[in-house]
Structure 1
């Protein structure tokens, strides 16, 4: 009986959306449905890290002091680049609006070196000079590059791909993120992380790498994993088999009670992507996935399924793309990718699609309101 009701409701939704008017790109109108939530990450790369024991690491302040290059040149990793790139991404996003007229929200996710530098009285600050990201409703989290703090100066060594290596990288970047304040407020929201699964999986194994990452993050109070979709294995909704990001949010529940809300992405949107990989998307692939998400939402009568579209860009990738363009080079990297997917989302909004820009913690709150945790027996895959 439930299946009959669900199918009937889905057919009614199809009729409603098909009567709402068409569009040049055949986008399904979703104005009578819950929104498709859009989550945008800036993956702030930080420094490159040094081999353990490298003496240059102990004295290097290149990341902290390297200035930006002139127009037409590609910038090397630096704090200045990460700050300028984040401001540029946000400035681009302000050209767009969702179905409610609200501007996009940015999830800013720096590596440990950025967090340490931001809090440093000599080299730090600057991140809020142009925009007060916290007051504007944006959100910060942490990303798990395989680097740990040496205990000296600004020296970060590359961490081993072991249980202990995952533990120390999380503990170190969390420690520095917790020191970061703006106008007396903590900058790190302390809920969302990217675990760097792709860096750990070969040594630890796919499923065990996810297990260790989630458990170390959970021990520090983090609740939401925002990762390439193939790094989300535990309790993945049926039928996906790691072939694509899930169209809706789900919760992984481990046997020991640890639970993590999963937000799937497909890496960076960039014109330099070769396609057919979980590490990046071509603009065409990203637009197709967004349209498929809208379509899936229109056919699903289950209000507990919270549909979303998530993607990432990098401070350095976007800034370099525009700076190279200023020197007469082709516009084809992450800046091009960001504009392409945002133009497509805006076109769907203008044609009636119900889209809402949110941060990861806002998306998780919507999910939890519809799917309060009961028990491991009833919550697997939800």
Structure 2
């Protein structure tokens, strides 16, 4: 598309709106504004226009200003509540020091469109370009109540510190990465982003949701907002909840029931393991005969476990490692005397077991020695000694409830 045709025919440029859905009440809480060139009953995305480096930034700003003016006018005339998500690159925002956008928003504020309803989306990629200047401008916008969203978060982990500095209101996660990335690797990225969002008080918005799997992923990973063709395609009208492609409430109800079932199954397995250990407690004769006790435990957990040992309440290992290789359990006496208190949550978990007198199971993690994903079942033998049973990945994989 010739950029001059776009700029010279602004009357043919219109905003299209893609609804943003809330995970709390499943209603439309806002719209992302997208540019369309509408001519002779045909519309064409302006994505290539805005992504073309050859198009002057001033042209892009002019078209964006036109689209934004129409969008806010539509919102006011239809008395639509909610947010407007608008996309801006760093280069566009730098034109005239971002004053064009601010002046328009101030004008519409006088007409009743509050500044805090505007959410500016900038991509993480833009952080590579004049971050200091960009961050100052965005922080300046925030003083007016304008909100900030970072798009394509996670594309560059090196930008985590810059995101923390900016403290955006929303982090946008592209669910297409679920398909293209290694699943375990992307799950690690998601964990880091969830922790970051929690620390800075940002909401997670999952975009490009195109199927049930991606919607379930967004729900399970703490998404506060959802967006994508699976829910609603961009439209020239400001769609309401009743116009969505599916009933999200029913979908989430099914996710909840499935999750509850898996949790129930996991708790059932945990109870079974507790009963196995409790049945052996009469054989516990203290740390002097600790290896003999573990030998009894191996028979009870031969299918589930590949390694077990006993520590005291300070993290000091008082037993040998019992390590299963092939079909036989082998002793590793040299592991005795190791101290594991440095591990995250070790002491907290020990105290939790001591107080509750119940077993606990860890989150799934990658074992340093085997490089496999494992979980550890821990149980208090008394208030000073604790049994640790590492569960093999093959058993976890066979029991879906242990994968969550």
Q: TM-score, normalised by structure 1?
A: 0.37
Q: Is the helix fraction higher in 1 or 2?
A: 2
User: Could you say which structure has the greater relative contact order, defined with CA pairs below 8 angstroms and 6 or more residues apart?
Assistant: 1
Structure with larger Rg: 2
TM-score, normalised via structure 2 length: 0.36
More strand by share: 2
